[in-house]
Structure formats: structure tokens, C-alpha cells
Amino acid sequence: MALLLSTDELAPLIDMSRALEVIEAAFVEQGQGLAVFHGQFALPMTKERNRDESGALTGGRMRVTSGGLLGAGKVGLQTSAASVGSGAGVALLFDCNDGLVAVMGSAYGNLRAGATVAIAAKHLAREDATTVGLIGSGRNSMGLVQGITAVRNVSSIKVYSRSEENRRSFAERAGRAVGMELETVDEARKAVEGSDVVLVATNAHEPVFDPAWLTKGAFVGSLGRITELDRGLFTAADVLVVGSHEQERTRYYNLYEPIPLDEMVAEGKLSADKALELGDIVVGKVPGRRGPDDLTVFHESQGGFGGVALAAAGYEEARSRGLGIEVNL
């Protein structure tokens, strides 16, 4: 028997505070060698496999992300139909001993992304970081704001995105969500300069800010395409961290997307061991920030085990509340 759970049932069960606990525990498992995952992939859903100028599929595609946590005994996958309808997805959760335990709406994608960057900030940003610059006002940006304000005593947030209407609307919504006023700015540089923490969430194929604008000792957290970051940032970073080495090498919907870290290693511009995994930082295998002037950089790799961790937490909470429908598949 498996529990059938809708997105509407699941969404209220996990808030940012709980998500931070769950995601940090997942990265502890990664640091202990207990997280498993496979690179993401996408299947075309149209006969015409058109691509944009960067090579990305422009038609409908089914995206699949998978992973597991062997310590928690849960594995699973999430799939969604990107560019088709709402793009809403479904998750399958398996117990390592009992098999399929839940068929679930995909309720925690944005929460996972924001919580992951926030856990990175917890371990990599200066303890006294108070000022935040945010580039991007799309669907993942709310989680970034909620996450960073949960792990640092934030006094100000400046928001930039290309659309003035979008950034103003986002600033109002996010301000209500976290109980503080967000400032909108009309240039990326204004968001970056003077900020202790710089958060980036875009779909940009080109760098969205110049590393020269950064304040000494800043933390940069990115969860969009890695191409949104200037390659000079990777060489300049005192500490460079990714969510997953394997996921960073996966072009899950764009066969022509650059893989900057691997390419820079092949070109001799970056040492092969410079990019650390967040799990190793969280468990203390390797140090994170070593001094107040360190430039620390994190790219969120969309690793599937974080999604499984949140799905498992939502499933357990739903069971305790008697939610969902038992189905025999």
C-alpha cells in the first residue's frame, strides 16, 4: 500500500524552519557518504525538438531528478512536465526495505532550493553578515529571502531583476513574508556593492554581475544556471563549494550548456580539488570560511537527495495527521 498525497495537502506541512533542519541533515548524510543520486535528465515531449540559441530544448520535456539517503532509508524520484501546462510534478517515495510508500504532489521544490542555499550561507557566510543583495525575482527567490533571514540577522535586502514591475511586486510579497521592507534597485551593481551576502537566481546564459563589485569577505550563493556566475569568481574564491560534483557535470536539458568547473580544470585554470561538496563542509571534514576576508562561493546543484529528504519529512508528517489516501498499486 502507498499513500497518495496532493500538493495542497503537503505544502502546509513543511515550513522554512523545518526545511532547514531536514536539508542540513541530508547534507550530513552526504558528508558521511550515505547520499546517492543520479544526474538529472530530460525527455522531449514533442516531435519537433527545437532548441534556442544556447541549445536548450524549447518544447515540452519531462524532467527527472532522483536520489536517496541510505541513513534515513529513503530513495525516490521527482518528475515534471516542463513547458507543458503548469509544469507541476509528482514525486515517488520509496522505503529502502518496504518499497513504494508514497505517490506525492511536488510541493517542496522552491523550499528545497532556498533552504539549501541558506544552509550553505550558515556555514560559509560571515557570522556578522547583515546586508543582502538579491539578483532575480522569479519563483525561487522567495525561498532565498526566507532562508537567509532564518540563518542570519539580516538588516537590509536590495533586489534587482530586469523587470521593474516584477522586482517591485516581488519585494512587496517577500517583505510581507519575512516582516521587513525590501529595497528595489535598477542595476545589478547596486544590489551587489556593499552586500555581505549576494544571492543569485536567474536563467542567464551570461554572468549577471562583475566579481569586482563584491565586498571583501562576501558570500555568494547561486541556484540558477552556473553560467550566471563569472568564471573569474571561481578562481577568486577562497572557498568554492557545490551541492554535488556529479550534478555539476550534468546538462540535464541542454546538451550544449557549458560545464565551467570541468572546463576550467581541463584548461589548467582551476585545480581539480578546489570545488568542495557542501556535505563535507557541514560534517567538518574540510573547513568552510577560515577568516573574515574570505570570499566564499556556493552553487546549488539541484541534487536529488534534498528533494527526497523533504518528501520523506512531508510523508511522515502527513501520516501522523491521517492525511492522504491509501492505494494499492
The β-bridge partners of 202 are none
Distance CA 228, CA 252 (A): 17
241 and 281 in a single domain? The answer is yes
Alpha-carbon distance 234 to 185, whole Å?
26
User: For residue 41, which amino acid is it?
Assistant: F
Residue 81 is predicted with a pLDDT of 77
Residues 142 and 287 in one domain: yes
Do 284 and 200 belong together in one domain?
yes
DSSP character at residue 13: G
Strand pairing of 74-82 and 89-95? antiparallel
The C-alpha torsion from 20 through 21 and 25 to 27, rounded to 10°, is: 10
**Same domain as 263, residue 208:** yes
Position 250 scores a pLDDT of 74
Q: What is the pLDDT of the chain when averaged over all its residues?
A: 91
> What is the pTM (predicted TM-score) of this model?
0.94
Of 64, 70, 22, give the one whose Cα is nearest residue 39: 64
List of the chain residues with pLDDT < 70: 49-59, 82-88, 251-256
Domain tally, the chain? 2
Does residue 283 share a domain with residue 168? yes
Q: Specify the CATH number for the domain of residue 141.
A: 3.40.50.720
Residues 228 and 287 occupy one common structural domain: yes
Amino acid 255: pLDDT: 58
Pair (269, 310) in one structural domain: no
Helix (H) or strand (E) holding 308: helix 304-321
d(CA 189, CA 81): 35
How far is 71 from 29, CA to CA, in rounded Å? 7
Q: Which CATH number goes with the domain that contains 47?
A: 3.30.1780.10
Regarding whether 261 and 136 lie in a shared domain, the answer is yes
Q: For residue 216, give its domain range.
A: 111-302
Report helix, strand or coil for 28.
helix
Asked if residue 106 lies in contact with residue 304, where contact means CB atoms within 8 angstroms, the answer is no
Element (H, E) at 35: strand 35-44
Tell me which residue of 23, 15, 7 sits closest to 310, measured CA to CA: 23
* Rounded Cα gap, residues 175 and 302, in angstroms: 26
DSSP 254: B
268 shares a domain with 178: yes
Residues 322 and 271 reside in one and the same domain: no
